[in-house]
Structure formats: structure tokens, C-alpha cells
Structure 1
Amino acid sequence: MIVSVAVLAVAAWFVTPIVRDLLRSSTTTTITDYEPGGTGEDVTVTIPEGATGGQMGQILKDADVIHTPATFATAFAENERSSRIQPGTYKLRTKMSAAEAVNALLDPVNRADAALTIPEGFHADQVYERVAKQLDIPLDEVKAAGADSEAIGLPGEAKGNPEGWFAAQTYSFAPGTSATEALKQMVARTVTMLEGLKIPKDQWQEALTKASIVEREVPPSYYGEVARVIENRLADTGGPTLGRLQMDSTVLYGLGKRGGVPTRDEVRKDTPYNTYIHAGLPPTPIGAPSKAAIEAVLNPPTGDWIYFVTVDLNSGETLFTGDYEEHKRNIQKLRDWRDANRDQETSGPTDDE
């Protein structure tokens, strides 16, 4: 008994501190949360596209916005609006409670980035102007960035001309984003889209060129028909169009115009983009096409259409035909519409289209 008591005493002498340390350890590692109010300093954090709640929590933890990712994960799961958190850069406070951090990411007031939208059909020059204005960068600097094909990741298929390669989308750029980085993201979006549509790389430029014309010619409801007209005219090398697209949109682009209707003299002016004069596709795209326009080019509907004319410049109603006599009758409908709407006409095709 004496020996047993001695052994137990010795064991207790060793075990008690261990148990005490374990208890102390379990107490200090218990998940906690910062008190509401965010007592720390302002900090900027960036939530990348596609980030999960867990990834957001780690980003916020690294910036000391929250105490632990686990507390954020709980708050994220409990907030029914958390799935609406958008990628971008946010101005937050350090040492916020997890629930506050979730709500802060949902509040547009805390966005620190610049939203920049590139509409469908925008020319490269228009893209440069918008980047310069929205990101507060000198226009010359933006144009210089666009001329550096390697820096912006422009594929070789573009042959050094970025026209049509700046994807028409809405972007969020963090403060201090350079012109090169902004344009690089736009080109990357286009490449991703082309790859997603499984277009062979050697056909990228052709697809963008055709789609950019479709984009500038008609409303989305007619994308397919115009895509078919393009194919039919390109193949009509021995027919009435002699392989010429005869598109006003390309003529205007060659003249440096962004819209309107070319005059008869302008239609006769020889530029590389005058498809009334030159057969085949123009040298480059004439703007940023939408995904829908590209998809129309990839799968145009069946039809014998060679001619088309928009007969109502308000509604965009457009008539298509493969018969020239019917096309002349359709042109007369356009003339009748013009006569009835002289005061409101702003744009439209020429009678020669």
C-alpha cells in the first residue's frame, strides 16, 4: 500500500500540470469573435471572382477584418443574402464581428473599386476613352498600353490589332489598376469566351470579325439572319454581290465614324473597310461583339438571304430576301417610312444595302 500510494503521488505530480495545461489550451483556442463595431483601422480587401465563403473568410482573416474564418463561415451560412456578395475590392474596418463583415460585403457603399462597362459594338478607341475616364488614367497612356500586344496578352491571330478583342462586359477594377492590366483582363475574357465556345484558334479572328459586323448591323433578334447573309455573300463570288458584303457598318468604321448612315459619296470612298468595293471580310473586327453575336456566326439559320434592309428605324424591323426584285420593294418600304418620319430619323441603312 505504501508503495502504491507513492506511485500515485508521483503520477499525480506529473499528470496534474499536463491536465492543467490542456484545460488552459482548450480555453485559449475556443473560437471567438470580435465585438461589434470594428474598432480597428480602415483596410482594403479584394474578393476574387468565384470565391467561396470559406475563401472569403480566410482573406478577411489575413487582413484582420475578422477573428477567425470559422466565425465568418457561420455568419455567412446564417445570412440568407450572402450568396449575393460580388467579387471586387472593398473598404472595411479591421476587428469587425463576423456578422458585420458579411453585411459590409453586401453593402455597395463599401465598394472601393471602379465599375467599368464595355457595351457591345464598342470600337477600341471608345474602350480607351472609357478606361481613361473611369480609371482616371491619361488617354495617351491607355492607347500606348493597347499598342503593346505582348503586355495585354493579345493572341497572335489578331496580328497586333486589338480591335474586337476587348470583351464587352462589366468589370470591377481595384484602385490603382493600370491601363495595361485593365486591357489585359478584357483580352483574357475574350480568349476565355472563344475557348469556351470551342472555336479553333486559327478561326478566332474570323469569328470576331463576322460577329462584330452582325453586332453593328441589327438588333439581337436578327443576329442569325445577318450571320447567314454574311455567309451567303462571301460564297456568292459569281453572283450579284460578287462576294462583297456591302455593309454600311464596315464603311462607317473605315471612315472613323461610330454610327449614322453613310452618304452615297462615302459609300464610294475607297478604304480597306469599304465592303461595297472590296470582296471578302474587312481586315479586322469593327467592334466588340457579344457572345450572342458570335454564337449566331457559329450556327446561322438556313436561308437563301442575300439582301436585307431595315424598314422601320424605330422598331428595327428588318426584311430579308434572296430575290433582288423583292429587295427593291423592301427598299421602297424604307423610303416610305422615311417620308413619314423625317423629323425622328437618326440612323439606318443606305438604299444600296
Structure 2
Amino acid sequence: MTDLFEHPALQETPPQPSRRRSAASKRAAAKRKRRRRQRTAIVLVVVLGFVGAGGFLLWDRMDSLVGDLPFFGSQAEDYPGPGGDPVEVVIPEGATGGEMAAVLQDAGVVASTGAFTQAFGENPAAAGIQPGTYQLQVEMKASDAVAALVKNEKVQTDVTIPEGYTVAQIVEKVASVTDITADELRKALEAPESFGLPKQADGNAEGWLFPKRYSVQPGDDATTLLTAMVDQTKKELEGLGVSEADWQEVLNKASLVEKEAPDGYRGEVARVIENRLDRDSPLGLDAIDSYGRGKPASEITVDEFNDEDFPYASRKQVGLPPTPISNPGTESVKAVLDPPEGDWIWYVTVNLDTGETKFTDSYSEFADYKAEYQKWAAENAG
């Protein structure tokens, strides 16, 4: 009983930069705007002397064309430094040099994006700047701002955990963004009572590390972050009215929905899971086997799928898997709590590009859907 579909790739929305700006930074911003207007006006006077009748069009569009770019070989505007009042800026995850420049200019740290991007390109270590919150100063020389960021001395670091990540993926994600190492996280996970994991989880944090954006402050360690994740899961469950006695079961079901359901079909997949459980039928979900084996379903052998002694063999075992298989988000939990009515037992995603998924309680119809998927796959191979 294999359901054919592929879960869409999960994506991080880069955290939006937040800024705390002092009065000095606001004054600096106003000063920059005045300089920019003055510079634009001078440029336009020169240009209009050459273009004559075409001047009106240029006047209408020149401000967007000039921006902070140097004109006629001039240098991009830069502060002499060393800087004034402190200001905190957030470097988003995955930010380019240009994106960093925009953040810093808006916060009053650098005079122009051009000066920063030039300094960024001249510093070989700039590519190693990490996301997070930094304390800089208003009106810094651009090269000094780059040098400060290169030190990676962050006030805090933001890390975003996508929905559907497993504990192992979360460990690697956190270690890649923050100063908390993978070994520190794994060691903390071995002491579940230290970060508030409920006893019903039986020492396994899978399903309990809520996916969202977390700010890691200086001095935070693995236990601090894991505690925040578990506390957020408890808060979400309580907010949805889930009885504490049902927490583990709800998270287990929601983890299956999170891994199995294409966008827009969480409720229907949740109903299929309930219907199969009610019939005492094996769930037959490849995502369960894949989690248990630690490899893609395409690499699992027939013998492994049919291994009756393996607790995650979803074609053989009746009931929920021993643990959740991912860390689900709120929408998957909601789907489990209130799935739509339906007699569906099978489903097939017939188009992996659109995610179109069809549900049925008829095995012959299920076979037709499988054939429809196979036809689509053959036409879209490669």
C-alpha cells in the first residue's frame, strides 16, 4: 500500500532585518538624504545641459538611475569614521554583500551602499560573515564596518527551523548558523529532563522541537535553545486545546501529515491516516520507512519494506510509528485535530509539479490514479 507523492521542497524565508536606531542614527539618515538630493540635483544640471529637449524624461527618471552610484569617476560617499553612537543591525541568513549594504545604510552605519560593497569586495574574509545581530556604530567608514562584521562577534544569532525537519536536521542547522556545536546539542539531547521534554516522549525529542525562528543570545547553550523549542511546542498544543495526555499522539500524527501532505492537502491526508488506524490497517506510508531506515524510500529494498521485525516497517506494522518522524508545524497539528469527513483510504499525487493529489476509498480507482501518475512521470522524465 504505497502512496505515491513527493513532498515539496521546504524553503526558509529569510528573516527580515530588525533595527534599533538611536537619535544620532536618525540624524545621520536625514543628513544622507539631504546629501543625496543635493548630489542628484548637481548631476541633473550637468546632464540637462547636454540632453536639451530630452531633459524632461531624464529628470523624471534620473533619481532612480543615480542612487548611490559614483558619477563620472567619483568615489561612493563614505564616512571618515571612526563612528558614533552604537546601533544594532541584523544580517539576515543568506544575505549578499549588496543586501548587507542596504541594511547598514538604512541603519545609518555606512554612508552609501556603494562604499560598503566596494569594501566588501576588497576584504577576502567578507564571504565568511555570518547571519545574526551585530552591534556597530553610526557613521562608520565602510571598510571598518566590513572589518567589524568579519569578526562575527554577534549580539545574537537568528536561526530558522523549517517545518518537517527531523531532530538530526535541526542539529545540523543550528550548528551551521550559531556557535552551538552539533556535539553540544547531541549531548544535551541525551538529558531530556534538562530541557523539559515530557515523560510521554520517552526520552526522544522528535516531534517536540517546534519549527520557527529563534534568537540565540550570547551565553545561550544547547539546553537553552532546546528548552525554548520544547516550550514553544507545549504552548502551541495548549493554545489549540490539546489535552496534555494526547500531546504525543497528536504530534506523532502531525509529523506524518507534515512529511506526507502536499500543500493544500493536509486535512485529507490526516483523514486517510485516521481511517487506516480505525481499520487496524498498516499505514503504508513510505515516509515512515524512510525515517526509520535513514535513507530515501527509493533506496529501501523490498526485503526492508517487508521486515516484520522492524518497528518502522509501515507496510507490516499496525498503528502509529514508535516516534514522530519530523517536527510538525501548527497547520499540520490543526489538520490532525479537525480533518474533513471522508472515506478515503488511498491517495496518489498525480502531478509532482502542481502537487495535485487524488483521494479514494476504491482500490480500482487507486490503481487508475497510480497509472495516471506513472504516465505523468514517463512524460516528464529527466
Q: TM-score, normalised by structure 2?
A: 0.60
Does 1:155 pair with 2:164?
no
- For the aligned residue pairs, the C-alpha RMSD in angstroms reads 2.9
Does 1:338 pair with 2:377?
yes
Letter in 2 for 1:318: T
Q: Percent identity?
A: 44
Q: Per the alignment, do residues 93 and 281 of structure 1 end up closer, same or farther by CA in structure 2, a change over 3 Å counting?
A: same
Where structure 1 has 5 or more consecutive residues not aligned to the other structure, the ranges are 1-33, 46-87, 95-109, 238-242, 344-353
Moved more, 294-303 or 312-321: 312-321
Whether the aligned pair in 1 keeps the contact of 2:195 and 2:230 (CA below 8 Å) is yes
Whether the aligned pair in 2 keeps the contact of 1:218 and 1:316 (CA below 8 Å) is no
- SS of aligned partner of 1:309: strand
Q: Per the alignment, do residues 156 and 146 of structure 1 end up closer, same or farther by CA in structure 2, a change over 3 Å counting?
A: same
1:275 to 314, 325, 328: 314
State how far apart, in whole Å, the 2-side matches of 1:155 and 1:342 are: 46
State how far apart, in whole Å, the 2-side matches of 1:120 and 1:153 are: 21
2:282 is matched with which residue?
Answer: 244
Q: TM-score, normalised by structure 1?
A: 0.65
- SS of aligned partner of 2:187: helix
Moved more, 322-331 or 133-142: 133-142
State how far apart, in whole Å, the 2-side matches of 1:330 and 1:297 are: 25
Tell me which of the two structures has the higher relative contact order, counting C-alpha pairs closer than 8 angstroms and 6 or more residues apart.
Answer: 2
Q: Per the alignment, do residues 35 and 263 of structure 1 end up closer, same or farther by CA in structure 2, a change over 3 Å counting?
A: closer
Deviations 1:247-268 (A, max 9, x none): 0110100101267674544422
2:179 to 123, 128, 136: 136
1:178 is matched with which residue?
Answer: 221
State how far apart, in whole Å, the 2-side matches of 1:221 and 1:262 are: 28
1:188 is matched with which residue?
Answer: 231
State how far apart, in whole Å, the 2-side matches of 1:205 and 1:221 are: 24
Number of paired residues? 250
Mapping for residues 7-18 of structure 1, pairs under 5 Å: none
State how far apart, in whole Å, the 1-side matches of 2:172 and 2:249 are: 26
2:339 to 289, 300, 304: 300
1:113 is matched with which residue?
Answer: 156
Where structure 2 has 5 or more consecutive residues not aligned to the other structure, the ranges are 1-21, 28-82, 90-131, 139-152
Alpha-carbon shift at residue 275 of structure 1 (Å)? 1.4
State how far apart, in whole Å, the 2-side matches of 1:251 and 1:259 are: 7
1:291 is matched with which residue?
Answer: 330
Letter in 2 for 1:182: L
1:329 is matched with which residue?
Answer: 368
1:25 is matched with which residue?
Answer: none
Letter in 2 for 1:273: Y
Whether the aligned pair in 2 keeps the contact of 1:272 and 1:282 (CA below 8 Å) is yes
Deviations 1:219-266 (A, max 9, x none): 2300000000011000113xxxxx211101101001012676745444
1:166 is matched with which residue?
Answer: 209
- SS of aligned partner of 2:366: helix
Structure of larger gyration radius:
1
Whether the aligned pair in 2 keeps the contact of 1:89 and 1:174 (CA below 8 Å) is no
Q: Per the alignment, do residues 182 and 111 of structure 1 end up closer, same or farther by CA in structure 2, a change over 3 Å counting?
A: same
